[in-house]
Amino acid sequence: MVSRMFEREVAFELYAPIHRAFPALSIEQFTCEYNAVLAIFRAAGIKFIAGSGARYVEAVGNSRYCRRLMAAAGIELSQLVDLNRLP
């Protein structure tokens, strides 16, 4: 699957509130386990898109958790899709 994502230039979304989908896990445990997946994508050269998942005005642009995931998985800013460069 990862090789197909790379071949087709499919980006993986870093969705800020993703941890809320797994309420049985602490945010630390979820982050640790999720970063194992993100590290596989990073190593395969997959690009990422970071999103706040805002459902209300105050959350627009809140990407703190995305930055935390990026730091923990070793994802560089250069690995984010630059939406301004898309045709």
Domain hosting 8: range is 2-80
Q: Are 30 and 19 in contact (CB under 8 A)?
A: yes
Question: How does the average pLDDT of the chain come out, rounded?
Answer: 83
Residue 57 forms part of a structural domain? yes
**Which amino acid, 25?**
L
- The pLDDT assigned to 8 comes to 77
pTM score of the predicted model: 0.77
Residue 87 forms part of a structural domain? no
For 40-65, what is each residue's pLDDT tens digit? 999 999 999 887 666 666 666 667 88
How far apart are the C-alpha atoms of 58 and 65, rounded to whole Å?
A: 15
Residue 36 forms part of a structural domain? yes
Residue 77, CA atoms < 13 Å, CB-side half-sphere: 1
Number of domains the chain contains: 1
